[in-house]
């Protein structure tokens, strides 16, 4: 039970920071790059957030007692196909809607930025103790 509490705070902060970076980057993308830049950053940020969410669910599933049934099977298939689903969504946004590739790539880095900030927060928080 203690392990759940030890990572719940950092995961929550990473999710919030990712959403904050996604919102800020999308606004900046619309301001700097117009529709292709803003929508491109939003696409990348959403893909990044979904990937983090699915990875979190995978870790929770691996740590939980084994579940049987159709829900567990669907979850396993979706987790296995997540990169294909995210890649297909990104491809459609790039080819069909003409969003900026650089903006999508920048949006994909929102979770990375959030994890770096969380690592710095943890470093400075625990360095004082």
Nearest in space to 106 (alpha carbons), one of 36, 59, 55: 36
| Domains held by the chain: number | 1
With beta carbons less than 8 A apart as the criterion, state whether 100 and 34 touch: no
Q: How confident is the model at residue 23 (pLDDT cuts 50, 70, 90)?
A: very high
Q: Which two tokens stand for residue 73?
A: 């099977």
Q: Which domain holds residue 40?
A: 2-127
pLDDT tens digits for 99-129?
888 999 999 999 999 999 999 999 988 877 6
122 Cβ contact partners less than 8 Å away, ≥ 6 residues apart: 10
How would you classify residue 56: left for phi > 0, otherwise alpha for psi between -120 and 50, otherwise beta?
alpha
pLDDT tens digits for 74-103?
767 777 787 787 778 778 878 888 888 899
Q: What is the pTM (predicted TM-score) of this model?
A: 0.79
Report whether pLDDT(1) > 50.
Answer: no
Nearest in space to 40 (alpha carbons), one of 54, 57, 28: 28
């Amino acid at each position: 039970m203690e392990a759940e509490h030890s990572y719940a705070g950092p995961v929550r902060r990473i999710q919030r920071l990712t959403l904050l970076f996604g919102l800020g980057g999308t606004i900046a993308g619309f301001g700097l790059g117009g529709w292709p830049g803003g929508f491109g950053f939003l696409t990348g940020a959403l893909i990044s957030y979904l990937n983090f969410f699915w990875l979190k669910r995978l870790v929770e599933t691996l740590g939980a007692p084994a579940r049987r049934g159709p829900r567990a099977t669907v979850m396993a298939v979706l987790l296995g196909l997540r990169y294909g689903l995210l890649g297909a969504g990104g491809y459609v946004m790039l080819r069909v809607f003409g969003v900026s590739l650089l903006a999508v790539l920048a949006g994909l880095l929102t979770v990375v930025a959030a994890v770096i900030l969380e690592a710095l927060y943890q470093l400075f928080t625990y360095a004082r103790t």
